[in-house]
Amino acid sequence: MRTFEQIISAREWENQHVTHHNVLAAHAPLKAYANKEAALTKQDSENQLSLNGEWKFKLFDCPESVLAASVESDFDDSAWDTIAVPSNWQLQGFDKPIYTNVKYPFADTPPYVPEENPTGLYRLNFNLPKHFTGKRQTITFDGVNSAFHLWCNGKWVGYSQDSRLAAEFDLTDFLVEGENQLSAMVIRWSDGSYLEDQDMWWLSGIFRNVTLLAKPQISIQDVQILTPLDACYRDGWLNVATSISEKNAANRVEVELFDAQGNSVFGVKSANCGQRIIDEKGPWLE
């Protein structure tokens, strides 16, 4: 496990060859519904836990100013401020927003960023639901600007940039029954800021949802749905490709198609689904 001092000295927020550590591969959004009835309602899944809300927060002048002890699980943060997640810290009374259009808000010397690099330390204590135990547990940050390191119960989990992309980490080996603690060190400027520059307000922080997800150890990891049309644009195919978390496990995928009213149109259970013609006119006039 990397120490806090090693993380700071590595300065990966200025290394164009590093965009993440231990971030899971991107995939289609999956809610881990317990059954198809729950999925059809499109309500929150019982296997999801939102970590949005009030987090403890302290703003430092730069990453080097952050106290190493502040990422430890037993650190006393009672004197710290609180901040809403998701939000931008500049809109919560910390630091200042910056507007630019054609110029960078810092010296144009990539991949380097200013030494004065505001850094926010977020901390949250939460209880792990009992029914999450024994499952694969992942956490997803849907948007953090512009780079961050993550710790769980005092142990370093990983690092991510690409502030407009979700960052998902596997916490299965980090979480414990009962109370758990998360720490996120969010850095305002990174080498990614050079690529994310636009005519815009520069804002920082955990600005999108944070979600904990629990899934069976053997589960669908990704799904791709394609609907190509024939040369006459009359008939189409529904192609569904899935990937499973355990490649060597004996498994079978069930695919079921529903119309707009929630009626089942087609279903199949197979490792190799094949094709079937479906007469589905849709709600439009021909």
Give all strands (DSSP E) within the chain, no chain letters.
Answer: 20-21, 48-50, 53-60, 81-85, 98-100, 119-128, 136-141, 144-145, 147-152, 155-160, 167-170, 178-187, 200-202, 205-206, 210-215, 220-226, 239-244, 253-258, 264-270
- Return the pLDDT at 283: 47
> pLDDT averaged over consecutive 10-residue blocks of the chain (286 residues)?
95 97 95 89 90 99 97 98 98 96 94 98 98 96 98 98 96 98 99 95 98 93 90 87 80 86 81 58 48
Within 10 A of 86 (CB to CB), how many other CB atoms are there?
Answer: 16
Q: What pLDDT is stored for residue 148 in this prediction?
A: 99
Burial 178-213 (b: 16+ CB within 10 A, else e): eebbbbbbbbbbbbbbbeebeeeebbbbbbbebbbb
Looking at residue 280, its pLDDT comes to 58
Q: Which residues pair with 266 in a beta bridge?
A: 257
Closest C-alpha to 202, from 118, 111, 115: 118
pLDDT given at position 85: 99
∠ CA 152-167-241 to the nearest 5 degrees?
125
- What pLDDT is stored for residue 154 in this prediction? 98
Q: How far apart are the first and last CA of the chain?
A: 62
Q: For the chain, which residues make up each domain, given as ranges?
A: 4-215, 220-270
Give the pLDDT score at 115: 96
- Of residues 150, 153, 132, the one with CA closest to residue 141: 150
pTM: 0.92
What's residue 25's pLDDT?
Answer: 95
**pLDDT (0 to 100) of residue 168:** 98
Q: CATH second-level architecture of 4-215?
A: Sandwich (2.60)
